[in-house]
Amino acid sequence: MGNAKVFVLMAAMTALVMALGWMAGGQGGAMMALLLAGGMNVFSWWNSDKMVLRQQGAVELSPQQGGDLYALTAELARRADLPMPKLYLLPTEQPNAFATGRNPENSAVAVTQGLVRSLSRDEIAGVIAHELAHIRHRDTLTMTVTATMAGAIAMMGNMMMFTGGRDDRGGGFGAILAMIFAPLAAMMVQMAISRTREFEADATGAQICGQPQALASALAKISQLAGRTLNIPAERNPAAASMFIINPLNGLRMDRLFATHPATEDRIARLMAMNGGARERVSPIPRSGRDDGPWGRG
């Protein structure tokens, strides 16, 4: 099901790239765009996760470097019945996180410095469990491929503003349409896969960590702090915003077009309903016995 969705998205994005190519250069431009789209598809399937991590400035953490954070991720992955993903740290003070990878065997979880510094141990566990839920649901391939291709399409639209269209009379108008249409069309595809996906990852993540209220608290904190902290790598690559647990963008330029997440209040309400209901839950993650670093605030 996940791979089928990716193939549909790739086909839709390919058609959009060909339309942009036709606007730029007629039939010849459409054929060139088809070749470009084919290359984008192959690249996105195999390398989009690495590209997104590189764009965000992610640094991989070894078990020694990750310490308790690595151990916590490993325990949550065990509970989720998943292989241990690669763990990355993002050098930004905005608290946030995302998961990427084409399958559970080739996956990664990335958390920001701000998340580790601002949240308690239980809240961090909830966030990591949410990201592991995306991996278990095989959302990450769809998310990462779409983010990579949407970013490329948006860039093509912006380039057409400067290069013009395929004739002198309609070139300027076509370029303006391309600049507007490309990111909007890519955004529509992202919106179609984002909102329900987040609710499902919240529910599964709460079950993995055993504490729905901790994930709800983490979402509230991240939403509040993210709105006050600029995430420069995310602002430079807004097409990847849908991958984060909370929208990392602060409304620069046309960034609100990439706000695909459901309302945080709705997500918190659903988690608190889980917390108060009769649904079976896994026991909370036991503490490591250490009280230093971010864990001391739990």
Query: What string of H, E and C letters represents the secondary structure of the chain?
Result: CHHHHHHHHHHHHHHHHHHHHHHHHHHHHHHHHHHHHHHHHHHHHHHHHHHHHHHCCCEEECHHHHHHHHHHHHHHHHHCCCCCCEEEEECCCCCCEEEEEEECCEEEEEEEHHHHHHCCHHHHHHHHHHHHHHHHCCCHHHHHHHHHHHHHHHHHHHHHHHHCCCCCCCHHHHHHHHHHHHHHHHHHHHHHHHHHHHHHHHHHHHHHHCCHHHHHHHHHHHHHHHCCCCCHHHHHCHHHHHHECCCCCCCCCCHHHHCCCCCHHHHHHHHHHHHHCCCCCCCCCCCCCCCCHHHHHC
Active site residue 105: no
Which residue in 60, 75, 131, 280 is the catalytic one?
Answer: 131
Residues with a catalytic annotation lie at 131
